[in-house]
Amino acid sequence: MIRRSIVLGTGSALPARSVSNAELAQRVDTSDEWIRERTGIQNRYIADEGETTGTLATDAAKAAIEMAGLQPSDIDLIILATATPDQTFPATATKVQAALGIDDCVSFDVAAVCSGFLYAITVADSMIRTGAANKALVIGSETFSRILDWEDRGTCVLFGDGAGAILLSAEESEDGSRGILASKLHADGRHNQLLYVDGGPSTTGTVGKLRMRGQEVFRHAVTNLAGVLREVLDMAGMTGDDVDWVVPHQANARILDATARKLGLSSDKIVITVDQHANTSAASVPLAFDQAVRDGRIERGNIVVMEAMGGGFTWGACLLRF
Ligand code: UT7
């Protein structure tokens, strides 16, 4: 028998307030035209005071649990990917656990910025396959609006807030054809000054603001993402033709197009939400995944490949049969 992690449910949550490019252009020296042309972004959601990484994560988790038809007490592992935790510690995952009313389970955060969800789901899958967990909530949740420099038009227009969750469950079968079939992670810390936050508890003692050298990140993103997508396809013994849906990290529509072109993937197989949500860092992949499941694009039996790249650099991909 082959033990695999299968997706039982998905969920997502967005702040109540949406902010269009036109609204942003009233407070920042930018234009709807520039943002659309350079990034594909039209809109983003921005958290109000009472909305935090933890509350958004909890709402996304509840939706995933409901879709799976489970009770919170069935969950034995919560991994939350975020670069914007509610507090420096404890892990926001433990706040989600408490909000869900789960008395005892393994709960921790992972920090790999925009590829955090890929890191989290790969760790959860490893724990499920070794028997260390049976039902795992894997969440990406961010409130990047709180670490944006609203004076820097080169970055503040690019990001939004939100959360997404995937509920994984252990399943044993003869052929192991369903569930997570391949995943691969990478990091190259030599580039950690191209995308970073200029603060932290151990350095400045402040939270800091996001800094990015956009063009250099762009260049690395296309190469790294195309490379890791090829790796997971090879690991699963598949080609681009076998893939039904690509759920990419939603940083920039031009990165998605360039990566798809490099791999010869048809652009109508790519789930795109960057127009509505902007870049929600670790939340972007599960948020897009949930949207495509709920609107009927991703169907049971489909081969879906997720990918992301972010600060560090870190990057990764995960291929599954839904
Ligand atoms: O999630 C983690 C991964 N992150 C990414 O993948 C982001 C990757 N990078 C990008 O998406 C793009 O590099 C950006 C969208 C950040 C920038 O696009 P670009 O085509 O590389 O533009 P640029 O930085 O070269 O800027 C072009 C011009 C500059 O003006 P000059 O020097 O040509 O006069 C900027 O000052 O656009 C100007 N500019 C703006 N203009 C209006 C920069 N930001 C803005 C703005 N509105 N918001």
Is 279 marked active-site? yes
Kindly report the protein residue whose alpha carbon is nearest to atom 4 of ligand 1.
251
What is the domain count for the chain?
2
pLDDT digits 0-9 by tens, 73-112: 999 999 999 999 999 999 999 999 999 999 999 999 999 9
Pair (151, 247) in one structural domain: no
What average pLDDT does this structure show over 208-231? Answer: 96
Range of the domain at 207: 179-321
Q: Is 39 in the pocket of ligand 1 (CB under 6 A)?
A: yes
pLDDT digits 0-9 by tens, 26-73: 999 999 999 999 999 999 999 999 999 999 999 999 999 999 999 999
Pair (138, 76) in one structural domain: yes
Pair (126, 202) in one structural domain: no
Q: Is 153 in the pocket of ligand 1 (CB under 6 A)?
A: yes
Pair (153, 192) in one structural domain: no
Pair (307, 221) in one structural domain: yes
Pair (145, 213) in one structural domain: no
Pair (187, 143) in one structural domain: no
Q: Is 256 in the pocket of ligand 1 (CB under 6 A)?
A: no
Pair (158, 186) in one structural domain: no
Q: Which of 173, 205, 235 is the last residue of a domain?
A: 173
Q: Which of 173, 193, 213 is the last residue of a domain?
A: 173
Kindly report the protein residue whose alpha carbon is nearest to atom 43 of ligand 1.
154
Contact assessment for residue 76 and residue 120, using Cβ atoms and an 8 Å cutoff = no
Q: Which of 173, 193, 220 is the last residue of a domain?
A: 173
Q: Is 215 in the pocket of ligand 1 (CB under 6 A)?
A: yes
Helix residue spans in the chain (DSSP H): 21-25, 32-39, 53-68, 92-100, 116-129, 153-156, 214-235, 253-263, 274-277, 284-294
Q: Which residues pair with 113 in a beta bridge?
A: none
Q: In terms of C-beta density within 10 A (0-12 exposed, 13-18 middle, 19 or more buried), how is residue 296 classed?
A: exposed
Q: Is 25 in the pocket of ligand 1 (CB under 6 A)?
A: no
Residue with tokens 């005071």: 49
pLDDT band at 245 (very low <50, low <70, confident <90, very high): very high
Pair (222, 91) in one structural domain: no
DSSP structure string for 200-267: BTTTTSB---EEE-HHHHHHHHHHHHHHHHHHHHHHTT--GGG-SEEEE--S-HHHHHHHHHHHT--G
Q: How far apart are CA 169 and CA 128, in angstroms?
A: 8
* The one catalytic residue among 114, 191, 277, 318: 114
Pair (216, 282) in one structural domain: yes
* The one catalytic residue among 43, 191, 249, 252: 249
C-alpha 198 – ligand 1 centre gap (Å): 19
Q: What is the CATH number of the domain that holds 165?
A: 3.40.47.10
pLDDT digits 0-9 by tens, 186-210: 999 999 999 999 999 999 999 999 9
